[in-house]
Amino acid sequence: METVEALVEACIAARAAEDSHLPAREILERTMAAPGDFLRVIGEPKTAGIETLYRSDRLTVLNVVWGPLMMVPTHDHAMWAVIGVYTGREDNIFWRRLPEDAPHGLEAAGARSLGAGDVVPLGPDIVHSVANPLERMTAAIHVYGGDFFDAPRVEWEPESLTERPLDMEGIKRRFADSNRRL
């Protein structure tokens, strides 16, 4: 993509044409085929944060920048997502919900490390935690099939793996704390 606006416009048009993550995945795969080029377009990340590039009830496009060694606890999205990393590395642990009578609500079910140029779709039922294992910024475009900020979502307390409503303010504090450590 030659501009961030062109990327967003392509995602909007794709979402209007199809109720699926597949077009967004194709757009991010084309964009991330040359992650260095996209990095030059969007600019080197300077601070950790969640930048909203577009938001509607059917689509959210975010530029997510993870601070050095930053992590976000286990959470769901309650909608499909496609993530395309353009610089750094993002380590994901995927979790499986357990029956209600289990001692913990989740168990680890797999992992995937994403580097610059990688694109991964996440289904609406995916539960994952994310960490930046690097001592520098990691950044990715995240495309969601709904309003990322308004959907009822949950997270799990890291030690007990107890489910609770997602605390978006708590997540924003994690990004702010990461910036303070810089």
Contact 159, 96 (CB under 8 A): no
CATH number for 100: 2.60.120.10
What's this model's pTM, rounded to 2 decimal places? 0.93
Per-residue model confidence as pLDDT tens digits over 55-108: 999 999 999 999 999 999 999 999 999 999 999 999 999 999 988 887 778 999
pLDDT for res 101: 81
**Residue 177 CA neighbour count, 13 Å, CB half:** 10
pLDDT at 1: 66
Number of domains in the chain: 1
Distance of alpha carbon 177 from alpha carbon 100, whole angstroms: 34
pLDDT in tens, 115-156: 999 999 999 999 999 999 999 999 999 999 999 999 999 999
Amino acid symbol at 60: T
Residue-number span of the structural domain to which 19 is assigned: 4-181
Helix (H) / strand (E) containing 26: helix 22-32
- Closest to 129 (Cα-Cα) out of 146, 147, 107, 144: 107
DSSP 8-state class, residue 135: S
What is the distance between the alpha carbons of residues 32 and 28, in angstroms, rounded to a whole number? 6
Do 117 and 32 meet the contact criterion of CB atoms below 8 Å apart?
Answer: yes
CA angle 91, 94, 97 (to 5 degrees): 155
